[in-house]
């Protein structure tokens, strides 16, 4: 097995200030409370693709840096290829963050490690924030006690963005790329192409490339040419 991977470098573009959701205020309050030690010590975020899980974990990393809190953030897909024995050397007071935790379902050694980690959280040594693609009770973890422990803390169900918020997110992500989308263009993309955020982002990358290579603004005629 490979050595334990280094913690993820968080994407500085994503913060609580640019997280868009009808429940954004509540979610921000709960997550910042974990870092400020004024709220829950363990929070699980679960939801389908494009529900904002990774954005929120990056926002947590951003906030941890501002608050000078030690956060160790990992993607479970990387941990699955590594030896779990090194996943114990965390200083008391640290926050452990895991994206896509359910990827480790069926990895016996890792399941046992997270069982022990949550026990340390309950003992007040650590804090824990994680994401799943479904509710803990519906995951395929083999260790029954791990499932029950994942439900000890606060669970926040995330819903994919509705059309209104998707339009706002699309404009925001375009701004991050240095693009300016008119309302007309946004409405056209929403009505003629997939409403999945990941698909819309792929479209933005194509439009960015076409706009630069052709030295043209992003307009509906340009969209029709390349799609």
CATH number at residue 197: 1.10.8
d(C-alpha 98, C-alpha 221), whole Å: 43
| Neighbour-count burial of 150, counting CB atoms closer than 10 A to its CB (0-12 exposed, 13-18 middle, 19+ buried) | buried
The yes-or-no verdict on residue 193 having pLDDT over 90 is no
Whether residues 93 and 120 share a domain: the answer is yes
d(C-alpha 128, C-alpha 126), whole Å: 7
Q: Kindly report, residue by residue over 178-188, the tens digit of the pLDDT.
A: 888 888 988 88
Q: According to the model, what pLDDT value does residue 225 have?
A: 84
Q: Kindly report, residue by residue over 7-62, the tens digit of the pLDDT.
A: 556 667 788 988 888 899 999 999 999 999 999 999 999 998 888 898 999 999 99
Helix (H, G, I), strand (E, B) or coil at 77: helix
What is the span of the domain harbouring residue 201?
A: 163-226
Whether residues 37 and 134 share a domain: the answer is yes
* Domain presence at residue 6: no
Half-sphere exposure of 22 (CA within 13 A, CB side): 10
Which residue in the block uniquely carries the two structure tokens 């994680």?
130
pTM reported for the whole predicted model: 0.80
Q: According to the model, what pLDDT value does residue 36 have?
A: 95
Q: Kindly report, residue by residue over 205-220, the tens digit of the pLDDT.
A: 888 888 888 888 888 9
Helix (H, G, I), strand (E, B) or coil at 105: coil
* Residue closest to 63 by CA, chosen among 123, 23, 18: 18
Q: Kindly report, residue by residue over 104-147, the tens digit of the pLDDT.
A: 999 999 999 999 999 999 999 999 999 999 999 999 999 989 99
Q: According to the model, what pLDDT value does residue 101 have?
A: 97
């Amino acid at each position: 097995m490979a050595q334990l991977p280094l913690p993820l470098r968080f994407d500085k573009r994503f913060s609580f200030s640019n997280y868009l959701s009808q429940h954004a205020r509540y979610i921000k309050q709960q997550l910042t409370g974990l870092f400020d030690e004024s709220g829950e010590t363990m929070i699980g975020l679960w939801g389908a693709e494009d529900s904002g899980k990774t954005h929120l974990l990056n926002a947590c990393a951003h906030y941890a840096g501002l608050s000078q809190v030690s956060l160790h953030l990992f993607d479970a897909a990387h941990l699955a290829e590594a030896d779990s024995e090194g996943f114990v050397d965390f200083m008391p007071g640290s926050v452990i963050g895991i994206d896509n935790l359910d990827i480790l379902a069926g990895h016996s050694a890792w399941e046992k490690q997270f069982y022990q980690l949550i026990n340390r959280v309950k003992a007040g040594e650590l804090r824990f924030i994680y994401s799943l693609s479904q509710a803990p009770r519906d995951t395929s973890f083999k260790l029954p006690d791990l499932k029950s422990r994942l439900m000890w803390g606060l669970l926040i169900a995330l819903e994919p963005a509705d059309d209104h918020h998707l339009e706002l997110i699309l404009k925001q992500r375009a701004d991050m790329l240095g693009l300016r989308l008119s309302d007309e263009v946004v409405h056209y993309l929403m009505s003629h192409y997939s409403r999945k955020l990941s698909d819309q982002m792929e479209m933005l990358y194509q439009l960015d490339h076409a706009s630069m290579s052709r030295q043209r603004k992003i307009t509906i005629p340009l969209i029709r040419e390349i799609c």
